[in-house]
Structure 1
Amino acid sequence: MNLTTLLLFIPACFALNMAPGPNNLLSLNNASRYGFGQSCLAGAGRLLAFAGMIALAAMGLAVVLHASEHLFMAIKLIGAAYLFYLAVQLWRAPVGGAAAQAASRRGLFRLASQEFWVAAGNPKAILIFTAFLPQFVNVDSSTSVAQQFAWLGAMFLLLEWLAIAIYAWLGSHLQRWFSQPRQQRLFNRASAVLLGCAGAGLLAARR
């Protein structure tokens, strides 16, 4: 990849990484409830899902998803249902002392699983990889297309983790502002509404 392509790819890619969506909202809320470190580590679940999607796009299997209306619909419905489930959980989340006890029981694996399933349940993500990454592949280069795709995918994941850290940092600062039970409940329910809206938006999404 030449320098010009790299200078185009990084800002365009980071804009996608930073776009407010269900996963970034989840990182924000997790950091506000469980801390910066837990939220960043939980983001590994999202990266695992995206790595799988990038691999599928590189192998051309994303074409199947693009062509199959039924498969797209099935993944979309499952993803939206999971977002609604998380929204309900956040709406009913304990606050104050009860929240601290719940946080101590909430393992890192469960938080990472949430990140993974929110990412995996969005079929538009794999279509983004199919449409976005190939724009920066040079078929005339001496480097193979597969190797170029691997480098682009690795940079995307690195920038995604930077976005996770930024949202987690913001969430950890919100933890100080929403220290009172009433404020915590307000923040949790606002996040729940936004996740519910993301679920509704996913239901309205088309291929």
Structure 2
Amino acid sequence: MSFENLLIFIPACFALNMAPGPNNLLSVANATRYGFWISTVAGVGRLLAFVGMIAIAATGLAAVLQASLLAFYAIKLIGAAYLFYLAFQLWLAKTSEQEQKRPRVAKSLLALARQEFLVAAGNPKAILIFTAFLPQFVDISEAAAPQFFTLGAIFLGLEWLAIAAYACIGSHLRKWFSESRRQKIFNRICASLLGAAGVGLLVARRSTAA
């Protein structure tokens, strides 16, 4: 892999990491409720899902997903259903002063990480993005596996920065949304956006997801 390729890959990759999406929206919403560090650490769940997707792309198994209409739509329906579930939960989320001052951190951290994982894993477009994006920077004259490992590690590092950036936005919003009514409005805005993302996932065609 050439240094020139890396100079192109890194900014392009970071732009992809920073693009607004369900996971980044979830990081913002979680940070407004639980704070910067909880939201950032919960992003490990997303990274674990992406590790699996990178492995799938590296082994060529994503071609199975791209070729199988049934597999694509099954994952898509499950992912959309989970986004709708999160939207419903966030819409009805409690915003009392007591809950904001004493969040159930130990239990919430595991639950939030699981949410991040499931939102990422429930989007078949993410696997296809890895399939279409990463291979463009692989030198076919060299062994592919080490290059996928390097590119994947860079992607995950940049994704971690994106998680922190969105969590930082959420943590600053948290101060403004300390009032219960404002928090409720924000939760419902995020819930609506998550619901819209679920609708977008449902209407996405396989040909446009590649």
How does 1:74-153 map onto structure 2 within 5 Å?
74-97=74-97, 99-100=99-100, 103-104=103-104, 106-141=107-142, 144-153=143-152
How does 1:150-169 map onto structure 2 within 5 Å?
150-169=149-168
Please give the per-residue CA displacement for 1:51-101, whole angstroms capped at 9, x wherever unaligned.
000001100100000000000000000000000000000000001225337
Counterpart Cα distance in 2 of 1:77 and 1:150: 30
Counterpart Cα distance in 1 of 2:32 and 2:8: 33
Counterpart Cα distance in 1 of 2:99 and 2:88: 16
Counterpart Cα distance in 1 of 2:93 and 2:120: 22
Mark the runs of 5 or more structure 1 residues left unpaired by the alignment: none
Counterpart Cα distance in 1 of 2:76 and 2:147: 30
CA RMSD in angstroms comes to: 1.2
CA contact (8 A) 1:94 1:102 kept: no
CA contact (8 A) 1:83 1:196 kept: yes
Counterpart Cα distance in 2 of 1:161 and 1:181: 30
Q: Cα offset for 1:3? A: 1.8
What is the identity percentage for the equivalent residue pairs of Structure 1 and Structure 2? 66
Q: State the TM-score, normalized to the length of structure 2.
A: 0.95
SS for the counterpart of 1:107 is: helix
Give the residue type in structure 2 aligned to 1:115.
E
- In the alignment, what sits opposite 2:12? 12
Moved over 4 A (4+): none
Q: Cα offset for 1:104? A: 1.7
